[in-house]
Amino acid sequence: MKHTAPLRAAVAALLLTVGLGAAHAGVASAVPLPEPAAAPSASAGLLDAMRQDLGLTGSQAEERLSAEKAAAAVEKTARQAAGDAYGGSWYEPSTGRLVVAVTDRAKESAARALGADTRLVRHSAAALDRAKARLDTLRAPTGVAGWHVDPRTNSVVVTVVRTEREAPAVRAFVDRARAGGPVTVAETAQAPRTYAAGTVGGDPYYTGNVRCSIGFSVHGGFVTAGHCGQAGAAVRGWDGSTMGTFQGSSFPGNDYAYVGIHSGWWTVPVVLGWGTIPDQLVRGSAEAPVGASICRSGSTTHWHCGTVLAKNETVNYSQGAVHQMTKTSVCAEGGDSGGSFLSGDQAQGVTSGGWGNCSTGGQTWFQPINEILGRYGLTLHTA
């Protein structure tokens, strides 16, 4: 992507490093290759951000990132080991371990053998997913903010706006939800909204009179939020020059889009740190579990961190419901839409919307990156 001279120089250095590495690999093909280097530790800037937003010391932040990486690796195999008895899983910060819920006590030992803690529950994840799917067929009133499967309560959590909880339409929706399966009702201070904004000066891209944020570079362009532009819409870069075109876009129902870029712009596996932290390299897209720490980069509020609160949530925006979203405790504001969510060096998704702001706090949802890559047949640009 185009950017200021310091960033352009940094990007050039990054590309040169990658190019030299590829050339070296080719030359060395006739001799034994060295063992791969250990993954670099988290940058000081990332640890600072986690300390500020999560209340951790530097050493606690490093320990948490390491534990979350181990939990993410265990989650897939634990799900397979539990089979039909799988009731969901989440990362537990107080123990630094993954917790796997199971409906059959006989399956607990298999999950524990993989390094996870277990909890015996009544409902399987499949049963809870079916209950949520029934809710997805309903039209929700504006006082219902969204709903998701929560493995910790072993239920479908329906979130309602606090001031609207007793409204007849909201009560009727909750009653219908409870008739279809185990439901827990939670409250939120405000209804969610998308984070697009009118045109203002600064980074990073514009379409029409809307400013949004780049999510992640893919080969041929970048991914972002669908509500930022429709397929065929032209995109201008941070400097106002022609940048590319929306090749695909979906909103509501989904909230993702793919922008193909023109000559004069290029992609790099980098997420901007905005001077708060060093720019971050993207090395993959391994999905972080519920409870894991996560950080966001956007063109309005720049860099903030929080935790993953829920997955596969249906969010009820005024424009319509959006499915399969991930909820976080990270704050965001207008113009941050489409921006990057990272867990360590792993891409997680693109910012969709939420409630609150970065002065008083709030919650933000993102559309998972792997779903977007699969939908458009894209390849994430990684370091």
Question: Which residues does the annotation mark as catalytic?
Answer: 227, 255, 337
What are residue 149's phi and psi, to 5 degrees? -80, 130
DSSP string, 317-371: ETTEEEEEEEEES----TT-TT-EEEETTEEEEEEEEEEEETTTEEEEEEEEHHH
DSSP state of 265: -
The four Cα atoms 294, 17, 277, 335 give a dihedral, to 10 degrees, of -70
DSSP state of 28: G
Strand ranges, E, within 213-345: 216-218, 221-224, 234-236, 242-250, 256-261, 270-271, 280-281, 293-298, 302-317, 320-328, 340-343
Euclidean distance between CA atoms 370 and 343, whole angstroms: 14
Tokens of 207: 């379409």
299 within 8 A of 335, measured Cβ to Cβ: yes
Euclidean distance between CA atoms 222 and 324, whole angstroms: 20
DSSP string, 31-88: SPPPPPPPPPPPPHHHHHHHHHHH---HHHHHHHHHHHHHHHHHHHHHHHHHGGGEEE
Q: Left if phi > 0, otherwise alpha if psi is -120 to 50, otherwise beta: which for 109?
A: alpha
65 within 8 A of 293, measured Cβ to Cβ: yes
Beta strands 193-194 and 197-198 are: unpaired
* Residue 204 preceded by cis peptide, ω within 30: yes
3-class state of residue 107 by DSSP: helix
Tokens of 41: 């530790």
